[in-house]
C-alpha cells in the first residue's frame, strides 16, 4: 500500500516544503513505515485533469479565506465546468454569495443539461477541514479532521474522525464520523476485516489543508478519487463530498429513467424513494448510491457511499461528482476492479449476493388489476391453455382483498380463492398476490386482526406523541409497520403464516413500499421541525420530504424515518423473505417496487407503473441492465406496459423483449384494455408464442445464470461492456442485452420496423434461428437468403432482418448452452429431454455449464442436492465433466446436440464410441445436428471426423 501526504497550502512554500520534508522523513521512518511522504507541490498529480491541478496550485500558494472573493480575480478564475456550487440550498444574490466567501459569475444554461452551471461557486481557497494526527493502525490509518471556520449550514461538526481501512487488494474503505457523538449509520451488515491487505491495487495520498483523499490505480497511476477538488462539508444535516472522475463514462445511481450511461453535463440525481410513474429526471422507487466508471483504458472502478438519507448526486463535465446527503455519516467504499465484472462482484461482496429464485419464478407470469373474481381468473388460465401459451404463475392485484385490506380475501368474487389456488397447483402452476405494507386502522377494535395484533405488539411507526402514525392508502386510514423493529418481523411472519394457512399462495408481490401515502405525511400533518424542513432539501418531487409518503420525523425502532425512509422497501423484503421461509419451507419468491442497496439478497424488482409506449419499451433495457449491475438480477418491466392501451405491434415486440427479461410478467391497469396474449390476432399470437417458446427452451441456461449470480456475484442480463470492456463502442450500447457471456439479444424497439441494427463485438456470432428451439424437433428449412447464419464481426454495427415474428438472438462462438423441450408450465418443461447448442470458435473450441436441482428447495448447495456439469468442445469432440452429481438432475436425458461452425461434412459421428447413422450436416449453415440418447449425469464423449 502506497500513501502520499499532500500538504503546504500556505505562502512561504519553500520554507514549508523544507520543514514538511524533514518532518515527513521522520514520520516516515518512525511511524509510517513504508509510506511515501511527498510534498504536495512536487509529485503525484500527472493524471489529475488540468483544471483540477490548477485549482490545487492556486489553493497551495494563493491567499487564505476572504470575505469578498470577487476582489481577487485569480481566486475566481475557475473553469466553468470545474465550478462547485456554493449555493446548493437555494438561489442567492451576488451579495449573499460573496458573504459566504464565494465567487459569483452568471453564466448561460448549457445546452442539453438538466441543471445550469453554478453562478455562485467555491474559490480554491474556501476553508475546509485540516488533517491532523495521521496514525497507522492495524487496518490502515486514522486521523482527525478539524475545521476552524463554520460553513453557511447550521450545526457544523468542527472535529471529525477519519478511518481508512485497506480491506482487500481491490477494496478501500474509509469513513468520516463525529468522534464525540454517535450518528445514524445504515444498519446494513457488511464484511468485517481484521487486518489490512498485504498488497493493494491502489495507492493513497492525503492533502493536509484543505483535507482531501486521492486514490490512484497503481497499474497506470490514474487518479480514481480526488476529494480535494471541493471543500468537505459535514454539518448535522448536510454532508458533501466531491471528487474528480477519470472518465465521463459513468453508470449506476439508480433508480432513474434514462440511458445506462449517465450524462455528466450538469446532471442531478435525487435518491429519496417515491411512488411515481417512471419519468425522466425525478426520484423514483429505489435508491442505490453506487456508481461505476469505465476508464479510457478499458479498466473500471466503482464507488459506494453507504448512506440512506435523502441525497442529491451531482455530475458535472470536468468530469466530477458531488455527494450531498442530509444526514448520517460518510461511509465510502472504493472498488478497484480492475475490469467492470470484478467491480460488480466487489460491490456485491459488500451488499450481498442475489438470492436463488425458484425455477418456476423464471416462467411466464400473468396479472391484471381488474381480475375481479376467481371465475375470471379460471377463464384466463383456460384461455391461455387453449391458445397454447405457457403460464407458470397467476397473479392478483388488489381485487382479491376484502376492502383492500392485507391478509384478507373478499367472499363475493373470491369466496373460493383457496380452492382456486389448489387448482392452480394441481395444474402445475403457482399463485402470487399483492401485499401492501400499510395496514387498515379504520375498523372497530377486534374487527381486523393484523391491526389489533400490531397495536398490541407495538409494531407500527409512531408520531411525535408516541401513537401510530396514521396515513391513507388503498383501504383508507392506515398504519405503517416498522420493519426495523424485531417485534414487527415476528408479527409479519405470523400474519403471513396465518393467511397462508387459509390461502396456500406461493410468493408475495410487495408494492407501495416506499412507503406510499395518499396524504402528505399523515392525516394529522407533520411537526414543523428541522427533520421535515431540513436546511438542504434534495430535488425531490413535490418539494418536500413528506410528499406522497409519511412524516420524516416519525419514529422507528432504529432511528427516525428521516434516516430510514430509503430502507423501507428493503426491510419489508427482508421481513417477507423470512416469513415465506417459515410459512412455506421452500425458496421464497418476492417482487418489490421499492429497493435499496442489498435488495437482491431477498427479492426481485419490477420497474413500476410504466406506460404502454415505445419509449418505455426501449428504456426498460437500461433499467434491467442497471439493476443487474446492482445485484438485483430478478428484474423486469410490465410487458406491453401497465398504463394506457397497448397496440398489437407494441405488445408483440414487448413480449419478444420481455421473453429475455430475467423476470417476465405481463401486467396492466384496471382502466386499460386487456392485453393477455390470446387477445390479439392469430398472427400476433404466433409471434408471442414463438417468443415464449424461446424463453422456455432456454430456461436451463437462465437458471444456470442465476446460480452463478447467487454463488459468484455474476450478472444474469448484462450490458455488452461487461464482456467487452476493451471495446469503447460497447460502453453506450443499451438497446441490446446479453444473457451471460453467450447470448446476444437484439430486439426491435420502434414501431413499423422490420429490421434492426445492433452492435456485434469482435468474434463469430451464430444466428440461433438455425438451431431447433425444440430439442426433439428437426432443423428448420434453409434460412432465407438475406439472413446471415453467422456474423464474423471485427466490432461493427450490423443491420438484421426482423419481421414481426422475430427477435434476433445470436450465440457467441466459444460457448455451449443447454436447452430443453417446452411445456405450458415449468412443471412440464422440467421433465422434457434436453439439447446442447455448441458454438465453435475458429479453433473448434467451446465451453458451457448446467446447474440443476429440484427448483425450489432451501439449502441445496449446503446439502449437495444438485447436479452441476461442465461441457467442453475441442478437437472435434464434446465431453461433459461432472462437477457434482446427485439423483436430482442425473437422469436428465440429452437427445440432441447441434454444433455450429463445423467447416466440412463429417464422415463419421460417434456417441460414446457408437456410430450415429442419422446425423445431418448443412453445408450452407455449417451446422452438424446429432441425435443422441445420453444422460446428462453420466460421462459422455461425442466425436466427429
- Residues labelled catalytic: 511, 514
What pairing do the DSSP bridges indicate for beta strands 393-396 and 364-368? parallel
**Distant-in-sequence, close-in-space partners of 526: CB < 8 Å, separation ≥ 6:** 520, 532, 546, 551, 552, 553, 554
HSE at residue 111, side-chain half, CA atoms within 13 A, is 0
What whole-number distance in Å separates Cα of residue 330 and Cα of residue 310? 13
What is the radius of gyration, based on Cα positions, of the chain? 29
In Å, how far from its chain's centre is CA 234?
28
Q: Are 818 and 896 in contact (CB under 8 A)?
A: no
What pairing do the DSSP bridges indicate for beta strands 159-168 and 140-146? antiparallel
* Residue 810 buriedness (CB in 10 A; 0-12 / 13-18 / 19+): buried
- Other C-beta atoms closer than 10 Å to the C-beta of 163 total 17
Which run of H or of E encompasses 829?
helix 826-829
What whole-number distance in Å separates Cα of residue 488 and Cα of residue 493? 8
Cell of 195: 487486518
Which DSSP state fits 117?
P
In sequence order, the β-bridge partners of residue 799 are 757
Q: Are 535 and 153 in contact (CB under 8 A)?
A: yes
Cell of 649: 405491434
Q: Are 202 and 93 in contact (CB under 8 A)?
A: no
In Å, how far from its chain's centre is CA 244?
24
Q: Order of strands, edge to edge, in the sheet holding 743-746?
A: 717-718, 737-739, 743-746, 808-812, 763-767, 790-793
**What b-and-e string marks burial along 590-627, b requiring 16 or more CB atoms within 10 Å of the CB?**
bbbbbbbbbbbbbbbbbbbbbbbebebbbbbbbbbbbb
Angle 699-712/682-697 helices, nearest 10 degrees? 50
For Cα atoms 565, 568, 571, give the angle at the middle one, nearest 5 degrees. Answer: 140
Q: Are 356 and 634 in contact (CB under 8 A)?
A: no
Cell of 789: 447464419
Which run of H or of E encompasses 570?
helix 568-584
Nearest to 786 by CA among 763, 764, 809, 755: 755
In sequence order, the β-bridge partners of residue 305 are 332
Cell of 897: 446436440
In sequence order, the β-bridge partners of residue 521 are 550
What whole-number distance in Å separates Cα of residue 64 and Cα of residue 126? 8
State the virtual CA torsion across 421, 426, 429, 435 in degrees, nearest 10: 20
Cell of 38: 511527498
Cell of 284: 423514483
- In angstroms, the Cα distances linking 29 to 143, 163, 196, 461 are 18, 21, 20, 55
Nearest to 901 by CA among 841, 943, 846, 942: 841
What whole-number distance in Å separates Cα of residue 672 and Cα of residue 430? 25
Cell of 547: 410528499
What whole-number distance in Å separates Cα of residue 288 and Cα of residue 311? 11
Amino acid at each position: 500500500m502506497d500513501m502520499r501526504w499532500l500538504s503546504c497550502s500556505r505562502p512561504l512554500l519553500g520554507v514549508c516544503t523544507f520543514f514538511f520534508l524533514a518532518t515527513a522523513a521522520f514520520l516516515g521512518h518512525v511511524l509510517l513505515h513504508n509510506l511515501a511522504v511527498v510534498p504536495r507541490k512536487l509529485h503525484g498529480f500527472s493524471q489529475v485533469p488540468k483544471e483540477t491541478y490548477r485549482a490545487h496550485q492556486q489553493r497551495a500558494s494563493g491567499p487564505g479565506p476572504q470575505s469578498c472573493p470577487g476582489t481577487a480575480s485569480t481566486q475566481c478564475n475557475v473553469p466553468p465546468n470545474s465550478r462547485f456550487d456554493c449555493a446548493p440550498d437555494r438561489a442567492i444574490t451576488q451579495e449573499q454569495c460573496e458573504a459566504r466567501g464565494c465567487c459569483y459569475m452568471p453564466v448561460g444554461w448549457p445546452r442539453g443539461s438538466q441543471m445550469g452551471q453554478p453562478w455562485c461557486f467555491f474559490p480554491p481557497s474556501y476553508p475546509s477541514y485540516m488533517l491532523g494526527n495521521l496514525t497507522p493502525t492495524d487496518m490502515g490509518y486514522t486521523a482527525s479532521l478539524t475545521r476552524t471556520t463554520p460553513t453557511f449550514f447550521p450545526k457544523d461538526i468542527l472535529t471529525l474522525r477519519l478511518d481508512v481501512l485497506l480491506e482487500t487488494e481491490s477494496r478501500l474503505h474509509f469513513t468520516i464520523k463525529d468522534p464525540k457523538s454517535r450518528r445514524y449509520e445504515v444498519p446494513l451488515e457488511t464484511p468485517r476485516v481484521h487486518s489490512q491487505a498485504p498488497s493493494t491495487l491502489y495507492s493513497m495520498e492525503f492533502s493536509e489543508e484543505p483535507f482531501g483523499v486521492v486514490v490512484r490505480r497503481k497499474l497506470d497511476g490514474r487518479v480514481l478519487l480526488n476529494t480535494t477538488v471541493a471543500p468537505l462539508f459535514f454539518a448535522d444535516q448536510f454532508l458533501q463530498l466531491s471528487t474528480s472522475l477519470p472518465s465521463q463514462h459513468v453508470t449506476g445511481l439508480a433508480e432513474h429513467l434514462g440511458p445506462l450511461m449517465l450524462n455528466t453535463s450538469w446532471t442531478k440525481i435525487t435518491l429519496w424513494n417515491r411512488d411515481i410513474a417512471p419519468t425522466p429526471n425525478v426520484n423514483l422507487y429505489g435508491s442505490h448510491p453506487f456508481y461505476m466508471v469505465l476508464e479510457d483504458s478499458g479498466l473500471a472502478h466503482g464507488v459506494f457511499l453507504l448512506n440512506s438519507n435523502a441525497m442529491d448526486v451531482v455530475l458535472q463535465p470536468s468530469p466530477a461528482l458531488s455527494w450531498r446527503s442530509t444526514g448520517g455519516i460518510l461511509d465510502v467504499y472504493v472498488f478497484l476492479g480492475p475490469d467492470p465484472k470484478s467491480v460488480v462482484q466487489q460491490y456485491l461482496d459488500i451488499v450481498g449476493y442475489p438470492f436463488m429464485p425458484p425455477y418456476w419464478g423464471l416462467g411466464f407470469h400473468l396479472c391484471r388489476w381488474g381480475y375481479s373474481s376467481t371465475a375470471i381468473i379460471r377463464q384466463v388460465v383456460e384461455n391461455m391453455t387453449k391458445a397454447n401459451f405457457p403460464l407458470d404463475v397467476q397473479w392478483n392485484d388488489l381485487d382479491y382483498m376484502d376492502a383492500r385490506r392485507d391478509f384478507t380475501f373478499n367472499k363475493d368474487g373470491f369466496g373460493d380463492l383457496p380452492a382456486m389456488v389448489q387448482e392452480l397447483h394441481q395444474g402445475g402452476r403457482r399463485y402470487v398476490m399483492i401485499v401492501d405494507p400499510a395496514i387498515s386502522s379504520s375498523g372497530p377494535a377486534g374487527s381486523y386482526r393484523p391491526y389489533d395484533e400490531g397495536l398490541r405488539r407495538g409494531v407500527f411507526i409512531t408520531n411525535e406523541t408516541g401513537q401510530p402514525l396514521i396515513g391513507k392508502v388503498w383501504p383508507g386510514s392506515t398504519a405503517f409497520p416498522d420493519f426495523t423493529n424485531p417485534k414487527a418481523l415476528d408479527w409479519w411472519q405470523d400474519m403471513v403464516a396465518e393467511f397462508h394457512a387459509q390461502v396456500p399462495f406461493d410468493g408475495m408481490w410487495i408494492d407501495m413500499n416506499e412507503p406510499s401515502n395518499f396524504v402528505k405525511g399523515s392525516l394529522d400533518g407533520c411537526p414543523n421541525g428541522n427533520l421535515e424542513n431540513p436546511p438542504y432539501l434534495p430535488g425531490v418531487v413535490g418539494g418536500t420530504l413528506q410528499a406522497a409518503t409519511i412524516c420524516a420525523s416519525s419514529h422507528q425502532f432504529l432511528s427516525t424515518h428521516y434516516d430510514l425512509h430509503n430502507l423501507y422497501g428493503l426491510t419489508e423484503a427482508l421481513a417477507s423473505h423470512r416469513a415465506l421461509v417459515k410459512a412455506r419451507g421452500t425458496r421464497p419468491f418476492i417482487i418489490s417496487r421499492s429497493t435499496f442497496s442489498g435488495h437482491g439478497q431477498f427479492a426481485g424488482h419490477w420497474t413500476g407503473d410504466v406506460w404502454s409506449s415505445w419509449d418505455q419499451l426501449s428504456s426498460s433495457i437500461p433499467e434491467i441492465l442497471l439493476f443487474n449491475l446492482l445485484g438485483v438480477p430478478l428484474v423486469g418491466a410490465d410487458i406491453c406496459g401497465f398504463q394506457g392501451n397497448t397496440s398489437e405491434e407494441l405488445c408483440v415486440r414487448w413480449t419478444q423483449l420481455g421473453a429475455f427479461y430475467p423476470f417476465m410478467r405481463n401486467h396492466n391497469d384496471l382502466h386499460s384494455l386487456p392485453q393477455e396474449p390470446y387477445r390479439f390476432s392469430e398472427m400476433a399470437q404466433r409471434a408471442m408464442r414463438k417468443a415464449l417458446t424461446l424463453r422456455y427452451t432456454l430456461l436451463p441456461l437462465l437458471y444456470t445464470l442465476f446460480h452463478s449470480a447467487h454463488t459468484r456475484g455474476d450478472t444474469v442480463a448484462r450490458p455488452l461492456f461487461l464482456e467487452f470492456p476493451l471495446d469503447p463502442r460497447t460502453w453506450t450500447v443499451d438497446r441490446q442485452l446479453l444473457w451471460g457471456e453467450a447470448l446476444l439479444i437484439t430486439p426491435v424497439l420502434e414501431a413499423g420496423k422490420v429490421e434492426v441494427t445492433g452492435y456485434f463485438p469482435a468474434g463469430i456470432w451464430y444466428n440461433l434461428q438455425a438451431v431447433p428451439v425444440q430439442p426433439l424437433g428437426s432443423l428448420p428449412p434453409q434460412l432465407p437468403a438475406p439472413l446471415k447464419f453467422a456474423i464474423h464481426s471485427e466490432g461493427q454495427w450490423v443491420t438484421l432482418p426482423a419481421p414481426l415474428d422475430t427477435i434476433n438472438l445470436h450465440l457467441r462462438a466459444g460457448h455451449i448452452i443447454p436447452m430443453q423441450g417446452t411445456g405450458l408450465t415449468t412443471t412440464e418443461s422440467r421433465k422434457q429431454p434436453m439439447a446442447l447448442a455448441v458454438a465453435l470458435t475458429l479453433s473448434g473450441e467451446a465451453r458451457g455449464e448446467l446447474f440443476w436441482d429440484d427448483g425450489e428447495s432451501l439449502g441445496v448447495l449446503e446439502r449437495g442436492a444438485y447436479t452441476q456439469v461442465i461441457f467442453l468442445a475441442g478437437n472435434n469432440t464434446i465431453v461433459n465433466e461432472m462437477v457434482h452429481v446427485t439423483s436430482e438432475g442425473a437422469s436428465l436425458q440429452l437427445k440432441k446436440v447441434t454444433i455450429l461452425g463445423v467447416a466440412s461434412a463429417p464422415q463419421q459421428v460417434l456417441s460414446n464410441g457408437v456410430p450415429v447413422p442419422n446425423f445431418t450436416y448443412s453445408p450452407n449453415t455449417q451446422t452438424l445436428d446429432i441425435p443422441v440418447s445420453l444422460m446428462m449425469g453420466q460421462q459422455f464423449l461425442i466425436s466427429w471426423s
